[in-house]
Amino acid sequence: MTATTVTTAPGAPAESSTAARRIEVREGQRWFAVCALDELTPGRGVAALLPDGTQAAVFLDRSGRPYVIGNRDPFTGAYVLSRGLLGSAEGGSFVASPLLKQRFDLETGRCLEDPAVGVPVFHCRTR
């Protein structure tokens, strides 16, 4: 389809042997590194692939805390939550879907507008 190739990102940054910190997600008994911490802008997310092919949305809040939830917006089915805006409400952090603006609590995955709807939440840490 495309005739043009543009290199848009450096290759696997976690490869670097320096002490660059990275965000890891727990997969069963293992921790899996999804990206380097400095690839994230606080308040903004990125999409990442987990080993089983699941799409995850990875966020960093202003205090440096990481969050990982499923990337699929349950209201529209589109894989876009990583492109939403992160915000704070009542002490917690949420992401607002970029499509129809529903907010999802980043710790529980629960939709703030409709508690019956939720997204998966993944354990994560910075290393």
Contact residues for other proteins (CB under 8 A)? 1-6, 8-12, 14-15, 27, 30-35, 39, 41-44, 46-55, 58, 61-63, 70, 72, 76-80, 83-89, 93, 96, 98-99, 101, 103
Judged by beta carbon, residue 51 or residue 115, the one nearer other proteins is: 51
Give the SS3 label for residue 25: strand
Residue 83, SS3 per DSSP: helix
Q: What is the closest distance, in whole angstroms, from the C-beta atom of residue 65 to other proteins in the complex? A: 10
Select 28 or 116, whichever has its Cβ closest to other proteins. Answer: 28
Residues constituting the chain: 127
Name residue, tokens 């508690």.
115
Minimum CB–partner distance for residue 57 and other proteins (Å): 10
CA–CA distance, 85 with 88 (Å, rounded to integer) = 10
Which sign does the torsion angle of CA 19, 25, 26, 30 carry? negative
What letter does residue 21 receive in the DSSP assignment? Answer: -
Q: Which is nearer to other proteins, 99 or 117 (CB)?
A: 99
Smallest distance, other proteins to C-beta of residue 115, A: 19
Least distance (Å) from other proteins to the CB of residue 125? 14
Closer CB to other proteins, residue 18 or residue 63? 63
Longest dimension (CA), the chain: 49
